[in-house]
Amino acid sequence: EIKTLETEFGPVKIKVGYLDGEPVNYSPEFESCQRLAEENDTPVKDVYLKALTSAKERL
């Protein structure tokens, strides 16, 4: 399933993997992270890690 999560950099698409109905894996879409990194003049890695951390906390 793909969800959109709002971060300090903007909205990021996150792939969510489930096991027995519970979310177990989160993967920020690289294209979303790359676009936001360019828009915010920030390294892609920073956007990716922030999105991953936010997904684990809020999804």
Show me where the domains of the chain are located: 2-58
Q: What is the pLDDT of residue 13?
A: 97
Q: What is the pLDDT of residue 56?
A: 93
Q: What is the pLDDT of residue 1?
A: 94
In the predicted structure, residue 59 carries a pLDDT above the cut 90 = no
* The two structure tokens encoding residue 13: 């698409």
pLDDT tens profile 5-45? 999 999 999 999 999 999 999 999 999 999 999 999 999 99
Q: pTM for this structure?
A: 0.88
